[in-house]
């Protein structure tokens, strides 16, 4: 059990003790109340799949239109076509990266000593921290269906050693969920186990920090100085 004795923090933004993503901002108001805001950004499995298809199409389109231009200009050659092919191949990962950045969905989770607020594009929902709650990861609702489909295709046409491995999207995706009184409240659907796990860990850590801010003797401290209690007679 980590212990925490919260000292008063200066009003304003506090250097975040959380390293790496997702972006986390720690602030205090004029009353010294600690607030933590976590910004979550992730691509969903459907958008991850669509972005891959779009990137492949962009690479093929570049190759097709580039070849047509070379023929029309009368400058077609093996060297020119090889350069064009190389550019088309490089276009795919660059387009994929750009598309997945553009297609990310977002959610913001704000912690105060008394409340958790989940902001999404369609509005916000509020949850009392005093109520039993937890942040959990749930497998994507379509994960089992995808696994069954892949198993059926493998039985129908067994893959060879040279076959490309079937891409898993839903099987490697998770719902980041706030459970309150046993009810599920989805925060964000995340493609990729590593990112989903990082989101869950950060939300759990922020919740633990707020426990310390609220009760003064539990939770995780924001700094080493916060672990010291001010005792009567201390120098």
State percent of the chain over pLDDT 90: 56
State percent of the chain over pLDDT 70: 80
Q: Is the pLDDT of residue 103 over 70?
A: yes
The pLDDT tens digits for 154-176 are 787 777 666 667 789 999 999 99
pLDDT, position 21: 81
Q: How many CA atoms lie within 13 A of 186 on its CB side?
A: 12
Question: Could you tell me the pLDDT band of residue 188, with boundaries at 50, 70 and 90?
Answer: very high
> Does this model's pTM top 0.85?
no
Q: What distances in angstroms separate CA 1 from CA 202, 210, 220, 221, one per listed residue?
A: 18, 15, 9, 12
The pLDDT tens digits for 9-41 are 444 555 556 777 899 998 888 888 889 999 999
Question: Could you tell me the pLDDT band of residue 133, with boundaries at 50, 70 and 90?
Answer: very high
| 231 vs 233: CA distance, rounded Å | 6
| 25 vs 13: CA distance, rounded Å | 8
């Amino acid at each position: 059990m980590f212990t925490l004795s919260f000292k008063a923090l200066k009003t304003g933004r506090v250097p975040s003790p959380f390293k790496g993503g997702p972006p986390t901002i720690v602030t205090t108001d004029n009353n010294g109340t600690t607030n933590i805001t976590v910004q979550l950004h992730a691509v969903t499995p459907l958008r991850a799949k669509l972005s891959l298809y779009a990137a492949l199409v962009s690479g093929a389109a570049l190759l097709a239109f580039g070849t047509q231009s070379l023929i029309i200009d009368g400058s077609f050659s093996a060297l020119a076509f090889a350069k064009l092919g190389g550019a088309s191949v490089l276009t795919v990962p660059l387009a994929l990266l750009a598309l997945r950045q553009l297609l990310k969905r977002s959610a913001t989770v704000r912690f105060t000593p008394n409340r958790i607020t989940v902001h999404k594009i369609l509005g916000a929902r509020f949850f009392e921290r005093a109520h039993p709650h937890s942040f959990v990861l749930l497998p994507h609702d379509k994960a089992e269906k995808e696994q069954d489909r892949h198993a059926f295709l493998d039985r129908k046409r067994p893959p060879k050693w040279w076959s490309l491995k079937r891409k898993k999207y839903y099987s490697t995706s998770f719902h980041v969920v706030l459970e309150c009184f046993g009810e599920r409240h989805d925060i964000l659907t995340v493609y990729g186990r590593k990112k989903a796990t990082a989101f869950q860990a950060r939300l759990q850590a922020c919740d633990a920090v707020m426990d310390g801010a609220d009760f003064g003797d539990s939770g995780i401290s924001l700094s080493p100085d916060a672990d010291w209690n001010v005792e009567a007679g201390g120098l």
